[in-house]
């Protein structure tokens, strides 16, 4: 069976557990894409162990193949004779969290595409856009905006 894959990675300014908790929380996803303003909260790690399955509104059945909190999450969808496997590998490096996303799609022979189309798929920006959206959602949730308040006048006396 032919397969196609895409890879994307980024560094995020938050802990590996925060990244894992965000990625593994279905409330942060809409139609396979991260929700732009998730209002996320951390959930207990490991709340969805390997072996957990669910059915998406779009009709796809998914299963968690591996769930290692703060390090790795692998999910797979099988639809007839094709399948999609998505792996997130997470590691803390120099105060940042490195996220690597790998998606593999297996299709039946009759759905195979030529080498040019395969290369275009592998170089597509969708995976990069997705990890960038995750980065922005997590880093944006951490920003604190202070109100613009004037400093009080000095009360010190000089002689």
pLDDT for the residue numbered 25: 79
Per-domain residue ranges of the chain: 3-141
- The pLDDT of residue 98: 97
Query: Which superfamily, per CATH, for 3-141?
Result: START domain (3.30.530.20)
pLDDT at 58: 65
Higher local confidence (pLDDT), 137 or 44? 137
Q: Give 133-142 pLDDT, tens digit per residue.
A: 889 888 886 5
pTM: 0.73
- In the predicted model, what is the mean pLDDT of the chain? 75
Q: Residue 35, class by beta-carbon neighbours within 10 Å (0-12 exposed, 13-18 middle, 19+ buried)?
A: middle
pLDDT digits (tens, 9 = 90+) for 79-107: 777 788 989 999 999 999 999 999 888 87
What secondary structure letter does DSSP report for 137? H
DSSP-derived secondary structure letter, 63: E
| CA-wise closest residue to 70 among 23, 9, 133 | 23
């Amino acid at each position: 069976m032919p397969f196609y894959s895409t890879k994307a990675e980024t560094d995020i300014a938050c802990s590996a557990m925060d990244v894992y908790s965000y990625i593994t929380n279905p409330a942060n996803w809409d139609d396979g894409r991260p929700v732009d303003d998730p209002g996320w909260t951390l959930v207990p790690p490991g709340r969805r162990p390997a072996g957990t399955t669910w059915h998406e509104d779009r009709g796809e059945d998914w299963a968690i193949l591996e769930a290692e909190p703060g390090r790795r999450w692998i999910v797979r969808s099988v639809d007839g004779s094709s399948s999609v496997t998505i792996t997130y590998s997470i590691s803390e490096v120099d105060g940042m969290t490195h996220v690597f996303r790998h998606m593999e799609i297996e299709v039946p022979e009759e759905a195979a595409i030529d080498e040019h189309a395969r290369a275009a798929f592998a170089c597509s920006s969708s995976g990069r856009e997705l990890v960038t959206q995750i980065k922005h959602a997590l880093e944006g949730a951490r920003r604190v905006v202070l109100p613009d308040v004037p400093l009080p006048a000095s009360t010190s006396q000089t002689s």
